DNA sequence: CTCAACCCTCGACCAGCGGTTGAGGTCCGT
DNA sequence: ACGGACCTCAACCGCTGGTCGAGGGTTGAG
């Protein structure tokens, strides 16, 4: 109930972030990125929320190379109820609503305003040729609902383009679609077909599982 | 069509990037981010493509806080055939940066010293009961090589424990194992069975694809 | 030919970021 | 009352991303 000591926190985080240390956690507090409670005698006590904050910081650092100064601003924005408004890649004059700067890789929370892109906007935002989009659609990797696409389609298209450079074309990626469908199906089995509080949490967990599994099966150096 | 001298380049870029200097441009060359041609007497001559490259670098630095090392990798990726806008007509200076996609979300680089845990260490680190570990092993989600486990097993076990709280038990998770295996199989088809430079890059991409696909298929709020 | 403006290299130096280390001391469970 | 976990504070450190200056060629206008 009372929160965790710094040693325990270290254990928890080290599974996910190899280079975290006690001194780093203390440093992050000194920089104002977390503010754990203290016991009467001065020991830090980390709540679950503090842990989430730490995970946020470590993830942003590792995956987005953001400087602490910027991460701190994002956290501040979150605290104030805003969304981080990550300055994504500069958008061309054909300005769209906003490219989703992916605040946090594993944030599956409901985004208040879901992006709705026309096909042209999607193409421009992802910077991919129209044919690639066609192929992706024909294999069910990108789907339009009505005549617009969600923000995830940008990421999908961009990644597909990068994979194409390795010789992996959309048709090779069908299995990913299947796997994702099954995964979502499993989640819906638990939470029901409507989006609930749990949906995002579960998705974050299963994606984390997936990532760890892939990593664990990769050939070792 | 001789290209521009460094002073001229400076003028052009300073309109857009306040803090660019001659020495910075030279520094970027020294770091291998641009490779301008040289005149017989050694003067640098920047082509339009070199200018685009510089703009790309400066934009990525300013707007996405990317370290030069990462920017260099992105440029390398573009050079290796991914050039939706890179080789196209240099439109607006800011149109370039959107192509390479977001930074790699997960680090799949080879870790110098791979963790080797005994079963007890794993259990302790993940904080899960032994039975869960048994089940995970029997379904192939966690595998020992020899008599030790890798660091990813910690994450796998922890996530499995959290999922169990939602009623998802190891046997429900077999599909994840299969999906991960297939994913790694695909990667190895490209890179061969040994770990190479590309292995990690590719894994990061496929995991990113997977994540985006799941997200895109989750029920909307 | 000469002069100013421009450009070159190379090595030394530097500031800030993101921590690490260690000394010296307190707190807590057994 | 002991060992291990925790505390603070100041000094130190390695890396990144440059800057600066000395010493010296190149170019082009006059």
Residues 147-186 of A with CB under 8 A from B: 150, 152-153, 155-156, 158-168, 172-173, 175-177, 179-184, 186
Instruction: Specify the pLDDT at position A221.
Output: 58
- Chain segment A32-61, per-residue pLDDT in tens: 999 999 999 999 999 988 998 999 999 899
What per-residue confidence (pLDDT) applies to B122? 81
Q: Could you tell me how far CA B56 lies from the centroid of its own chain?
A: 18
Chain B residues within an 8 Å CB radius of A182: 175, 179
- pLDDT of A151-176, one tens digit each? 788 889 888 988 887 889 999 999 99
Q: pLDDT tier at B216 (50, 70, 90 boundaries)?
A: confident
Read off the pLDDT band of A3 (50, 70, 90): confident
A185-207 pLDDT, tens per residue?
999 988 888 877 778 778 888 98
Greatest mean pLDDT among A83-92, A120-129, B17-26 lies in B17-26
3-state SS assignment for residue A145: strand
pLDDT-derived band at B211 (thresholds 50, 70, 90) equals confident
Quote the tokens at residue B22.
């001659």
Closest residue on chain A to B88 (Cα): A127
A193, with CB counted inside 10 A (0-12, 13-18, 19+), is exposed
pLDDT in tens, B94-149: 222 222 333 334 566 655 456 677 888 788 777 788 889 999 999 999 998 777 88
d(CA B105, CA A152): 14
The pLDDT of B35-40, averaged and rounded, is 95
- The secondary structure of chain B as a DSSP string is ---B-HHHHHHHHHTT-TT--HHHHHHHHHTTS---EE-TTS-EEB-HHHHHHHHHHHHHHHHH---HHHHHHHHHHHHTT--TTTSS---SGGGGGGTT-SPPSS--SPPSS---B-HHHHHHHHT--HHHHHHHHHTTSS--BTTBB-THHHHHHHHHHHHHTTT--GGGGHHHHHHHHHHHHHHHHHH-SS--HHHHHHHHHHHHHHHHHHHHHSPP-
CA distance B118 to chain A (A): 15
Q: Which of A65, A127, A164 sits opposite B85 (nearest CB)?
A: A127
What's residue A95's pLDDT? Answer: 20
- Distance (Å, rounded) from C-alpha B211 to C-alpha A204? 9
Residues in chain A: 221
Residue in chain A lying closest to B101 (CA): A158
pLDDT at A99 over 60: no
pLDDT at residue A96 greater than cutoff 60: no
**What's the mean per-residue pLDDT of chain B?**
80
pLDDT of residue A102: 32
Q: Which residues pair with B13 in a beta bridge?
A: none
Contacts of A186 in chain B (CB under 8 A): 168, 172, 175
In the stretch 74-133 of chain B, residues with CB closer than 8 A to chain A read 77, 80-82, 84-85, 91-92, 94-95, 97-108, 110-111, 114, 125-127
Mapping DSSP to helix (H, G, I), strand (E, B) and coil, where does residue A44 land? strand
pTM (2 d.p.): 0.52
pLDDT at residue number B110: 58
Q: Do A179 and B210 touch (CB under 8 A)?
A: yes
Query: Beta strands A44-45 and A37-38: pairing type?
Result: antiparallel
């Amino acid at each position: 109930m009372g929160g965790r000591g710094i040693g325990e926190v270290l254990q928890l985080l080290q599974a996910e972030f190899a280079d975290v240390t006690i001194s780093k956690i203390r440093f992050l507090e000194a920089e104002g990125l977390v503010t754990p409670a203290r016991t009467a005698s001065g020991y830090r006590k980390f709540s679950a929320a503090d842990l989430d904050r730490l995970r946020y910081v470590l993830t942003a650092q590792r995956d987005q190379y953001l400087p602490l100064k910027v991460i701190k601003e994002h956290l501040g924005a979150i605290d104030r109820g805003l969304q981080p408004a990550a300055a994504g890649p500069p958008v061309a004059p054909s300005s769209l609503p906003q490219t989703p700067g992916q605040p946090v890789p594993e944030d599956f929370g409901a985004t208040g305003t879901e992006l709705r892109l026309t096909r042209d906007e999607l193409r421009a935002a992802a910077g991919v040729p129209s044919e690639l989009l066609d192929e992706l659609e024909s294999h069910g990797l990108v789907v339009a609902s009505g005549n617009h696409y969600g923000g995830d389609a940008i990421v999908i298209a961009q990644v597909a383009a990068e994979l194409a450079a390795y010789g992996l074309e959309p048709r090779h990626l069908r299995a990913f679609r299947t796997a994702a469908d099954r995964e979502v199906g499993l989640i819906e089995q638990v939470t029901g077909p409507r989006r609930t509080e749990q949906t995002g949490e579960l998705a974050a967990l299963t994606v984390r599982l997936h990532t760890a599994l892939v990593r664990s099966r990769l050939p070792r150096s």
